Amino acid sequence: MSLTLGHLIEQYRTDPDSNFAKLSYRVRVERGRTLARINREHGSQQLRDIRTRTLIEWHRKWTAGGKLSMARSLVERMRELLRFGSTVLEDRECSRLLDGLAEIRPQKPVASPVYITREQAHAICAVAHEHFGWPSIALAQAFQFELPLGQKDVIGEWVPVGEVGTSDVVSDGEKWLRGLRWSAIDDNLILRHDAGSGGKLIEVDLKVAAPMVLSELEAAFGTEARPKSGPVVLCDTSGLPWSAAEFRRKWRLVAAKAGVPNLVKNRRGVART
């Protein structure tokens, strides 16, 4: 009996030999949302009834309104599904459709990302302090702008306690991983942190490379001693590390008040001014 696309999605998500099980928690969540959309729209379709023309039509609808990034993501998830079905399940219909999907070459979005400038980063820090009273956002902004760190490297991430990794910060069935800890900054203000999903060690002298960070630390502690342990960036209201979604929401509020356009990404560019 031919699989439906919905059955294929379920097996891809649950089979221990699927690459899906090897992805990090947050990546599984993000890709799971895309798979859920495919399932809602086409999960009832029998694989044997899907043709190359069917895939082309789906892609045409996914790109409607210029949604090139979403269409590209949907095609990539379809490719992963069919590759799993072809190789792990040894399903001939998946192999056939994988060949058909090769006819679809999603367009890349034309617009290049716009990275935040030093002036904009300074404005965000000032507004976070003076208008909102959220110094943690200013501190996070300084770390992320001046150092080769992504958002997860700075504020960390919350994952279910059953996921891989150990942490002494636990709340409501979740644990906090990856973010900056005070123990990563020594008495000489040398920061050592395993950054990115690959855990590449970075070593930075904050006195030389990060004047904005030093300014924020001075504002926070003055002549008082900095903590020796625990997360560096804590939500100003909960006293716990930020959730990614709430941080992004609050950061965007601050950025808008600071006059930073929505198209500007809070990312480190290759060349910044």
- What's the pLDDT band for 272 if we cut at 50, 70, 90? very low
- Domains in the chain: how many in total? 2
In this predicted model, what pLDDT tens digit does every residue of 57-105 receive, in sequence order? Answer: 999 999 998 889 899 999 999 999 999 999 999 999 999 999 999 989 8
pLDDT (0 to 100) of residue 65: 87
3-state secondary structure of 50: coil
Q: Looking at per-residue confidence, does 270 or 46 come out higher? A: 46
Q: Please, what's the b/e burial string for 238-256 (b: 16 or more CB within 10 A of its CB; e: otherwise)?
A: eeebbbeeebeebbebbbe
Instruction: List the domain range (segments joined by +) for residue 134.
Output: 114-265
What mean pLDDT, rounded, does the chain reach?
A: 93
In this predicted model, what pLDDT tens digit does every residue of 114-146 receive, in sequence order? Answer: 899 999 999 999 999 999 999 999 999 999 999
CATH number at residue 205: 1.10.443
pLDDT (0 to 100) of residue 89: 96
Question: Of 101, 122, 137, at which residue does a domain stop?
Answer: 101
- Domain assignment present for residue 205? The answer is yes
pLDDT (0 to 100) of residue 273: 39
Together in a domain, 119 and 69: no
Environment class of 215 (CB within 10 Å of its CB; exposed 0-12, middle 13-18, buried 19+) = middle
- Domain assignment present for residue 217? The answer is yes
Together in a domain, 31 and 163: no
What is the spatial distance between Cα 224 and Cα 53, in angstroms, rounded to a whole number?
Answer: 67
**Which tokens belong to 242?**
């930020």
Please say if the pLDDT value at position 271 is more than 50: no
- Domain assignment present for residue 72? The answer is yes
Largest CA distance in the chain: 73
